[in-house]
């Protein structure tokens, strides 16, 4: 049985009954008891995922933030969980699957760093949609090792831009020294607070996607194979969860125990491709099945397509699914195709499930 959706709803019911007492304890800085109770309940849904409670006092907003360690599969589960927050609580609470922009401070080696302690010169690359940061070493940063400086930089960037924006758009970073420092001597170096405003303005004017609208980052992969065997014939694809793929790019039988502990299913809608099909016909077959799976799962937060791939003899739409009912909907959809079947990637074989 797939129980992730049911377990999440039970947590939300518990949270609706207890959020007032939780808010009172946060107001008193009494986090120990609250964290223990939350951990007990959250472990039933997202086992072992670290979290942090906080409050934005200016907005009177409470935040439950998950630390997914940027592991895509864990992040996917956290996204599904957070999106089930009851609407009547959304004005008071924010459930975050990544660190939100909250303009705080960073502490490294016993020293506290704020916005003015790090200054950067940004360079926006429209082709790559990445921002290179040139770092000006202030007196305070000069006392740290390069590794510690990068830790401060990452923490402050996450605090002022949000972790999703950092992951999506921040590219390489380098220190200004010697000739490079002379070259950029007339460029304005921004504090973190200033840069956050420049960043938001620039990506809007350049037409880059708003980080608040980004759920997960996709990555492309390719592989050379002459195989026609199911799951071994993949030649190219795009995935949200590369941690469920082999290093060489070929998807393998799911080995991620986290999904099983969460009671999340990992399946694939597999469509057979006839040898005489043209490249365009194959592409249309892949797009068609992926679109139908997304309509059932992604659009209703009942699951998520995480891998779309083309192979020598098959095309694939791999997906996470959060309940038996949603899986049954996908099966019924697949039955309408003559050449499509649903396979369970959490089994030792790839027979139709």
Among residues 253, 265, 261, 273, which one has the least CA distance to residue 351?
A: 253
Q: What is the DSSP annotation of 51-72?
A: EEEEEETTTTEEEEEEE-TT-H
CB 116 within 8 A of CB 67: no
- Amino acid 272: pLDDT: 94
- Amino acid 118: pLDDT: 86
**pLDDT > 90 fraction of the chain, expressed in percent and rounded:** 58
Structure tokens at 222: 């390719």
- Amino acid 105: pLDDT: 76
- Amino acid 252: pLDDT: 45
- Amino acid 178: pLDDT: 57
Strands 61-67 and 50-56 come out as antiparallel
Q: Where would I find the H helices in 121-191? A: 146-161, 163-169, 178-183
Cβ-Cβ contacts under 8 Å for 338 (sequence gap 6 or more): none
Q: Within 13 Å and on the Cβ side, how many CA atoms surround 266?
A: 25
248 or 197, higher pLDDT: 197
Kindly tell me if the per-residue pLDDT of 156 is higher than 60: yes
CB atoms within 10 A of CB 248: 10
- Amino acid 253: pLDDT: 43
- Amino acid 288: pLDDT: 94
- Amino acid 85: pLDDT: 96
SS3 352: strand
- Amino acid 33: pLDDT: 84
- Residue 314, φ and ψ in degrees, nearest 5: -145, 160
Kindly tell me if the per-residue pLDDT of 12 is higher than 50: yes
16 or 57, higher pLDDT: 16
Kindly tell me if the per-residue pLDDT of 219 is higher than 70: yes
CA distances from 121 to 78, 155, 164, 188, 316 (A): 34, 17, 20, 7, 43
- Amino acid 183: pLDDT: 67
Looking at residues 147-162, what average pLDDT do you find? 89
Confidence of residue 141 (pLDDT cuts 50, 70, 90): confident
Looking at residues 249-276, what average pLDDT do you find? 80
Kindly tell me if the per-residue pLDDT of 182 is higher than 80: no
Q: What domains appear along the chain, each with residue ranges and CATH number? A: 4-96 (no CATH), 106-213 (no CATH), 219-344 (3.30.70)
Kindly tell me if the per-residue pLDDT of 140 is higher than 90: no
pLDDT digits (tens, 9 = 90+) for 278-287: 989 999 999 9
pLDDT digits (tens, 9 = 90+) for 38-84: 999 999 999 999 998 888 766 688 999 999 888 889 999 999 999 99
- Amino acid 9: pLDDT: 97
CB atoms within 10 A of CB 329: 19
Say which range, 138-152, 198-212, 298-312, has the weakest mean pLDDT.
Answer: 138-152
Please give the mean pLDDT across all residues of the chain: 88
- Amino acid 144: pLDDT: 84
Cβ-Cβ contacts under 8 Å for 9 (sequence gap 6 or more): 84
CA 130 to chain centre: 18
151 or 353, higher pLDDT: 151
330 or 189, higher pLDDT: 330
- Amino acid 349: pLDDT: 63
60 or 293, higher pLDDT: 293
């Amino acid at each position: 049985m797939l129980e992730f959706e049911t377990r999440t709803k039970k947590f939300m019911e518990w949270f609706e009954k207890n959020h007032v007492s939780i808010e009172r304890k946060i107001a008193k800085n009494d986090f120990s008891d609250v964290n223990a109770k939350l951990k007990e309940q959250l472990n039933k849904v997202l086992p072992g995922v670290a979290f942090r409670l906080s409050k934005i006092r200016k907005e009177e907003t409470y935040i439950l933030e998950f630390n997914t360690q940027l592991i895509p599969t864990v992040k996917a589960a956290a996204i599904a969980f957070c999106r089930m927050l009851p609407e009547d609580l959304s004005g008071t609470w924010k459930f975050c699957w990544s660190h939100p922009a909250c303009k705080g401070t960073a502490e490294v080696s016993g020293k506290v760093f704020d916005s003015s302690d790090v200054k950067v010169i940004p360079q926006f690359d429209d082709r790559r949609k990445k921002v290179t940061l040139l770092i000006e070493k202030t007196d305070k940063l000069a006392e740290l090792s390069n590794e510690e400086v990068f830790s401060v930089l990452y923490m402050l960037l996450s605090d002022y831009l949000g972790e999703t924006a950092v992951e999506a758009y921040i590219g390489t970073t380098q220190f200004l020294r010697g000739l490079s420092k002379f070259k950029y001597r007339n460029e304005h170096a921004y504090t973190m607070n200033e840069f956050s405003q420049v960043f938001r303005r620039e990506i809007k004017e350049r037409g880059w996607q708003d980080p608040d609208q980004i759920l997960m980052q996709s990555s492309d992969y390719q592989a050379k194979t002459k195989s026609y065997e199911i799951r071994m014939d993949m030649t190219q694809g795009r995935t949200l969860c590369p941690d469920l793929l082999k290093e060489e790019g070929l998807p393998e039988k799911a080995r991620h125990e986290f999904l099983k502990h969460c009671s999340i299913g990992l399946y694939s809608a597999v469509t057979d491709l006839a040898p005489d099909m043209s490249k365009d016909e194959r592409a249309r077959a892949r797009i068609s099945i992926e679109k139908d799976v997304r309509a059932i799962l992604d659009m209703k937060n009942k699951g998520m397509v995480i891998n779309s791939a083309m192979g020598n003899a098959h095309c694939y739409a791999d997906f996470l699914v959060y309940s038996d009912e949603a899986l049954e909907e996908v099966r019924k959809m697949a039955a309408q195709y003559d050449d499509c079947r649903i396979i369970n990637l959490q089994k030792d074989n790839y027979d139709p499930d």
